[in-house]
Amino acid sequence: MSTSPTVPVGTSRRRHTGAAASVAIALAAGLSLGAVPSAFASESHDDVLNAAHRGSSDAHPENTLTAFRAGAEQGADLIEIDVQRSADGELVVIHDTTLARTTNVEELFPDRAPWNVGDFTAAEMQTLDAGSWKGSQFAGEKLPTFTEAIDVIRHSGAGMLLEIKAPELYTGIEADVSADLRESRGYVQSSVARDKLMVQSFNFDSMKTFTQLEPTVPVGLLGTPAISQLPDLATWADQINPHHLSIDAAYVTEVQRLGMDILVWTVNTEADMTRAIDLGVDGVITNRPDVLDALLDD
């Protein structure tokens, strides 16, 4: 793989071409990168994806079926979830690599510290309460299996932004994710065709592995790679998904010029949402999809 490839705009699987075209026009006209945000700002907000971070997680227990349903009801285009693997090989949905923060595992299994996800079977995890930590009204919420999450999100009308969490802890998890996705007949093909399935990770090697298994599914790289790294990454990745405060307009411009999308996280205030939209990002990942939905409708 070349370290300095020439990647024409529009050669990847990007959804949004209007912003990239505006950048190309601006550059051809000799405008500086600082002048580009005005081209983005003139575009319709309809192109900005609303991704509910772990579901509607500001008001609901994160990474639960209740949070996923609420996110879809609140206008999210995508439900962002985190997938790991149990001790007996079942894919489960949870963010932290330990169960302590969002379940009552310490109460039920006091002798199993540090309560790593990978040390518990799927059946053991199904006995946990994953809702009470957020509020008594959520008592009894369970940790979903990945299969359950696929079913609920698929029928909610929203898409899925799937993070493979800490894949270095779970050898071969990329193949497991692919297999579970394929078990839901027609899901991969129909979701990709409607821009409703994307997979991301902080582990770039994992995403290289996944894209070899599922070449039609867009893959995103979490974090903020240096601008000098972007041309090489653009030869195989579809998204760069950084923290929203780690980027500026020039960074957004370069990502999109190379044919990739950019989704930023985790954006929870109206001021930060407005800043991200004005930068011309392709998607905003938020704990408050209802707030973002209202802002995008203005």
For the chain, the three-class secondary structure string (H helix, E strand, C coil) is CCCCCCCCCCCCCCCCCHHHHHHHHHHHCCCCHHHCHHHHHCCCHHHCEEEEECCCCCCCCCCCHHHHHHHHHCCCCEEEEEEEECCCCCEEECCCCECCCCCCHHHHCCCCCCCEHHHCCHHHHHCCCCCCCCCHHHCCCCCCEHHHHHHHHHHHCCEEEEEECCHHHCCCHHHHHHHHHHHCCCHHHHHHHCCCEEEEECCHHHHHHHHHHCCCCCEEEECCCCHHHHHHHCCCCCEEECEHHHCCHHHHHHHHHCCCEEEEECCCCHHHHHHHHHHCCCEEEECCHHHHHHHHHC
Catalytic residue numbers? 53, 95
